[in-house]
Amino acid sequence: MTEGTSGGSARLWGGRFAERPDQSAESFTASIMFDNRMVREDIRGSVAHVRMLGRQGIIPADDAATIEAGLWKVWDDVEAGTFAFSVADEDIHTAVERRLRELIGAAQGKLHTGRSRNDQVATDTRMWTKFALLRVAQGVHDLAAALADQAAANVDVPMPGYTHTQRAQPVLFAHHMLAYVEMLRRDAERLQQAWSRADVMPLGSGAMAGVTYPIDRASVAADLGFGAISRNSMDAIADRDFVLDALYALSMIQLHVSRLCEELIWWSSGEFRFVQISDAFSTGSSIMPQKKNPDVAEIARGKTGRVVGNLMGTFMMVKGLPLTFNSDMQEDKESLYEAVDTVEAVLPVMTGMLASMKVNRERLAEAATGDFSLATDAADLLARNGVAFREAHEVVGRLVRSCIEQNKTFEDLTDEEWAALHPVFAVQKPPLTALESINARDIPGGTATPRVSSAIEEAREGLTAMQQWIDREMAVRTRTFSRNSPGASPR
């Protein structure tokens, strides 16, 4: 996206260059092969800009109307799939203006009055990012809803909770599912925050110092569905924080998906047998007929490196860039596009896999009390009866060692053996079932059944609010990009 370029070969524009660009340099610097994804944003931004130029008397109203009509014809070309571009166009802005010139002639040259490629591309990218984040937010919502549904369907199922990959304490399977719902709800918050920071219009900043024409930036922002305009022209041109914010939010989504996939891969193995992944989301082996591989989960896990890599690459691209515009900045788009594409591909397939997954309730319940996972409850019982917790910890630790040596479980111990261990146990036994242990943790955020049931309802309320936000902003996007958009309409 070369600064200040317009129609034809970019380096010849304006008469500054006497030589044609070297073919390899032309191909190397061109961005048209990837920024063409912003063609609708570019056309719509130009429509808003030329409307304002006409209203403000900066160009004649008749020319503004001619240019707008021509831009909608270019839009029709895009929709019909007949809009053609090449490396010679250099970027999508030049391609649109070249086609516009073919359609309306010399009047096209007035479109670029009062703007630069720099504020134009920043505006296009922000508009594209806003829409992309809304689509991703819908995917996050749907995956979180599938997890909440699994929680509701299995709200009474105990399972072992883990620390250090060792059985620790029993929890409800629903509680475990809701942990991922919480992660995704935070992801949705990050998406909303990234969206809000992208919802600032830089158009009007010019190349970097503002423009000399009496433009009406607020009306253009309203026309394009932006909630605010940038406060500093230099920052507006140089800022790629909003791209990094988006990439960070996308990376966190993939990080959480990867953790979930790791557990599903283990849980579906013969060693665990906690869940069954649907055949529709599994693959077989080329040589072993019995195999059922969790390939969807594995590939989704593997995609995380790609998304995080795009975040890190963009960090390094921005690092050390002086103000304001530098052509390095065109490298942000491929990273952003690829990260969005990856996450958009991962989320629906994960949602389908979760929605169709079967839970082996009996196996989970059986495993819930394995490896003495009720030991903490025994220590807590002593502590509640006045025994210092460190002493209680040591007493129960000796009990566990004794049971291991005798190949016994807590349930195997007689009343006499309990009483011999500590006088408190002669009067009261600790929980000996998973659900008894689980329901003892009846505090906010705990795994007790009533708390988890309430948490499911609260999660669904949060998801409803998320959906309302998505629907509201999608409606703004739809109105803004409607051919019949009235322009300068408030959000």
> Which positions are annotated as active-site residues?
164, 285
CB 382 within 8 A of CB 422: yes
Is the CB of residue 491 less than 8 Å from the CB of residue 225?
A: yes
The alpha carbons of the chain give a radius of gyration, in whole angstroms, of 30
What is the rounded CA–CA span in Å between residue 117 and residue 100? Answer: 16
Classify residue 377 by burial, with Cβ atoms within 10 Å: 0-12, 13-18, 19+.
buried
User: Is the CB of residue 2 less than 8 Å from the CB of residue 11?
Assistant: yes
Residue 257's nearest CA partner among 298, 209, 198, 205 is: 298
DSSP code string of 18-87: -SPPPHHHHHHH--HHHHGGGHHHHHHHHHHHHHHHHHTTSS-HHHHHHHHHHHHHHHHHHHHT-----G
Beta-strand runs (E) in 142-241: 158-163, 166-172, 200-201, 228-229
Pair of tokens at residue 394:
């040591």
**84-106 b/e (C-beta count within 10 Å ≥ 16 → b):** ebeebbbbbbbbbbbbbbebbee
Q: List residues bridging with 170 in a β-sheet.
A: 160
CA distance 195 to 126: 9
Contact 359, 150 (CB under 8 A): yes
Distance separating alpha carbons of residues 7 and 440, to the nearest angstrom: 72
What is the secondary structure of 145-156 as a DSSP string? HHHHHHHHHTTT
